[in-house]
Amino acid sequence: MPQRRELADQLLHLAKARQQTIATAESCTGGWIGKTLTEPAGSSAVFKGGIIAYSNQAKTNLLGVPEDNFSDGAVSETVAKSMAQGALERFDVDLAISVTGIAGPSGGSDSKPIGTVCFGLAKRGASPQTIRQDFGNKGRDSIREQAVIYALEWLIESLSGPK
Check if the beta carbon of residue 97 is closer than 8 Å to that of residue 155.
yes
How far apart, in Å, are the Cα atoms of 85 and each of 30, 35, 142?
A: 18, 21, 27
CATH number (3.90.580.10, 3.40.50.1820, 3.40.50.300, 3.90.950.20) of 4-160 reads 3.90.950.20
Residue 88 CB-half CA count within 13 A: 23
51 and 25 Cβ atoms separated by less than 8 Å? yes
* Three-class SS state of 38: helix
Q: What is the pTM of this model?
A: 0.96
**One pLDDT digit (tens) per residue for the chain, 163 residues:** 569 999 999 999 999 999 999 999 999 999 999 999 999 999 999 999 999 999 999 999 999 999 999 999 999 999 999 999 999 999 999 999 999 999 999 999 999 999 999 999 999 999 999 999 999 999 999 999 999 999 999 999 999 977 6
| 37 within 8 A of 4, measured Cβ to Cβ | no
